[in-house]
Amino acid sequence: MDGWKAASVGVLAIAAGLGAGAAYAADVAVAGLFAGRAVLVVDGGAPQTVKLGARTREGIVLRAATSEAATLEHDGRVFVARLGEQVASSAGTAASEISLQADGGGHFFTGARINGVAVNALVDTGATLVAMGRSDALRLGIDYRAGTMGQSATANGLATIWKVRLDAVELGGVRMLGVDAAVHETDLPVVLLGMSFLNRMDWRREGDRLLLKKRY
């Protein structure tokens, strides 16, 4: 086992036996993390070992698991559960404010959805655009070579990129349409959520937390 973690995350869960639209906030604790598996405790119940792509009895799906965090999905919303992080979403609506916890290196990793597909992402206020590597673009079904070719300055010099427009980017239930992005010819470790997404939100940093809120 890679290590035991404890984290909780608020997710939208449909209450069995209630009428349409009724919902409650479920607490999900990550009790254990393996390569490709996670031990989840939902609402204080018995631990459930869940494999990638499988779901708990309450319908919470494990999308990714590392020694650091689990990426979970419920009702079309993606959440990352890691040590000390708590994310709450209102029943039936997008979260009014998204709270992300920095990791030990001060980085804000999170789960997101691009064009309806779950991705692992890093919030990057220094990136002009949402950015991803070639493999992620292909997995998301993006014909990036139909975009506009350009160059981007990186730590290793100039890199070839293709500028495209994403149909939708979703973070914590907040969904933005028509977001500009850059696809790199080389692969990136994660998708970077740059300013083409963040500029459409109000955001601020408070200590080791990043708070984001959609502008209405």
Q: What is the pLDDT of residues 117-164, one digit of tens each?
A: 888 899 999 999 999 999 999 999 999 999 999 988 776 778 899 999
**In the chain, where the domains are located:** 8-90, 122-214
Measured CA to CA in angstroms, residue 197 lies from 126, 132, 174 at distances of 12, 13, 11
At 136, which helix (H) or strand (E)?
A: helix 134-139
- Assign domain 122-214 one CATH number from 3.40.50.150, 2.40.30.40, 3.40.109.10, 2.40.70.10: 2.40.70.10
Reported as a single tens digit per residue, the pLDDT across 30-66 is: 777 777 888 887 776 778 889 999 998 888 888 888 7
**Could you tell me which of 129, 93, 122, 74 has the C-alpha nearest to residue 214?**
93
